[in-house]
Amino acid sequence: MSRTILRGRVLSFVSEPQGMDDAGSYRYWEDGAITIETGKIIAVGDFVATDGAEIIDHRPHLILPGFIDTHLHYVQSQIMASYAGSLLEWLNTYTFVEEQKFSQQGHAEVVASAFYDELIRHGTTTAVAYCSSHPRSVDAFFGEAEKRNMLMVGGKVMMDRNAPEALCDTAQSSYDDTKMLIERWHGRGRGLYAISPRFAITSTPQQLEAARALVAEHPDCYVQTHLSENDAEISLSMQLYPNSPDYTGIYEDYGLLGPRTLLGHSIHLNHRETRVLAETGSVAVFCPTSNLFLGSGLFDRERLSKAGVRIGVATDIGGGTNFCMLRTLDEAYKILQLRGQRMNPFASFYMATLGNAGALSLEGTIGAIAPGNSADLIVLDAAATPAMALRKQTISSLAEELFLLQTLGDDRSIAEVYVAGARAKSVLSGLAAS
């Protein structure tokens, strides 16, 4: 059985950093070795020459777990950077028009392939995605993930009102389609399914009842939806569900909250909503680039964290403006600066790796460089551009290097990507060259 050893500067987290000086929250090897066999990490530690193993030397670069993205829309890949003033305008002008294309034969496969190329280019090895309302978009999403042996989470959008007729399903058809897709894809290869009512505005009470039934029948699936992104969205949701106490209460009323529930945005939450999220173990997903792009608001990480709410971070393509988690962390830092909440670089990289794995209840599988985990890894080059190389000359600590990567890095900083121990980015580059 062949073994591969990746040599380099290795960094992995074991808990959430509580400050810049919390060295106990991570493990760092200046000259480290990650031993990989059949797609799994079997050992990590200081480098020692070993007979019979292929050694790939990535020094002086950093090796980290692959980035994890907890909220995006792969079907919106072609409407990134579309000009609009707010969420609902953006949805009606661009999103619903774009997603109708996924009824066309072959379109989903083309977009899915390009989408996965971009994830790999930017160092993301696991993502949680909304597909369109068309089952074929889900087949394309998971089919491409299976080809690449990537651990991915996704699901068909359930939406039966307040959208173009060509995009709408019904409460019954969304139940039937979702159930069929769960049976086809959940647990197949590395694929995991997310039951996906888009948000309260686009689902009738009957459809949310169907979602409730699916959750009860498939408790090991995820639930993903949107929550409190925009003031107008909140107002319309409450008009549609006047008997619920607040926006979070809508999902609470239909039994959709829980430890496997991912709630995109979660910006404008009152105290009751915050308490409910903490009590149910639901995950608030911070989407900084889309929140800034659409003018939705500033996520209050400190308040939610102190209340005990689990938090993820995500790109939210295509309202989000970059596939890159480095760019996403940079914008997250700036939002929190405006909130008076300073986020140190160790906390940033924790969020994008082990933190997001924890948000998905997948710690022990991905998100850390540890024996038994999947060998989903990235190699980071902090001198990838002339500006970065110039700045790096004055850097004297790991924290400064991480902050440089976060602030100035992009896809050029991702020197290599490994998916289940296999090279992915250099292979992608080779295909492009040929």
In the prediction, which pLDDT does 434 show? 44
Summarised one tens digit per residue, pLDDT across range 12-57 is: 999 999 999 999 999 999 999 999 999 999 999 999 988 888 999 9
H or E segment at 317? none
Q: Which residues contact 337 (CB under 8 A, 6 or more apart)?
A: none
Integer Cα distance of 28 and 368 in angstroms: 12
3-state per-residue secondary structure call for 389-415:
HHHHCCCCCHHHHHHHHHHHCCHHHEE
Integer Cα distance of 156 and 403 in angstroms: 37
Residue 90 has pLDDT above 90, yes or no: no
Residue 143: pLDDT band (50, 70, 90) is very high
DSSP 294-311: TT-----HHHHHHTT-EE
For residues 141 and 116, the answer to whether their CB atoms sit within 8 Å is: no
For residues 281 and 262, the answer to whether their CB atoms sit within 8 Å is: no
Integer Cα distance of 122 and 422 in angstroms: 16
Q: What percentage of the chain has pLDDT greater than the value 90? A: 94
Summarised one tens digit per residue, pLDDT across range 227-279 is: 999 999 999 999 999 999 999 999 999 999 999 999 999 999 999 999 999 99
Q: Which residues contact 1 (CB under 8 A, 6 or more apart)?
A: 37, 38
Residue 137: pLDDT band (50, 70, 90) is very high
Residue 430: pLDDT band (50, 70, 90) is low
List b or e across 23-60, with b for residues whose CB sees 16 or more CB atoms inside 10 angstroms: eebbbebeebbbbbeeeebeebeebeeeeeeeebebee
For the chain, how are helix, strand and coil distributed in percent, rounded to 5? Answer: 40, 25, 35
Q: How far is CA 377 from the centre of its chain?
A: 15
Can you state the angle between helices 325-338 and 398-408, rounded to 10 degrees?
100
For residues 265 and 285, the answer to whether their CB atoms sit within 8 Å is: yes
Summarised one tens digit per residue, pLDDT across range 203-226 is: 999 999 999 999 999 999 999 999
Q: How far is CA 22 from the centre of its chain?
A: 25
Residue 425 has pLDDT above 90, yes or no: yes
Summarised one tens digit per residue, pLDDT across range 376-414 is: 999 999 999 999 999 999 999 999 999 999 999 999 999
H or E segment at 195? strand 191-197
Residue 1 has pLDDT above 60, yes or no: no
Summarised one tens digit per residue, pLDDT across range 52-79 is: 889 999 999 999 999 999 999 999 999 9
Nearest to 138 by CA among 165, 174, 166: 174
Q: What percentage of the chain has pLDDT greater than the value 70? A: 98
In the prediction, which pLDDT does 14 show? 98
In the prediction, which pLDDT does 325 show? 98
Residue 338 has pLDDT above 90, yes or no: yes
How high is the mean pLDDT of the chain? 96
Integer Cα distance of 265 and 119 in angstroms: 21
Summarised one tens digit per residue, pLDDT across range 283-334 is: 999 999 999 999 999 999 999 999 999 999 999 999 999 999 999 999 999 9
In the prediction, which pLDDT does 85 show? 80
- Range of weakest confidence among 83-92, 157-166, 238-247: 83-92
> In the numeric block, which tokens belong to residue 360?
């998905």
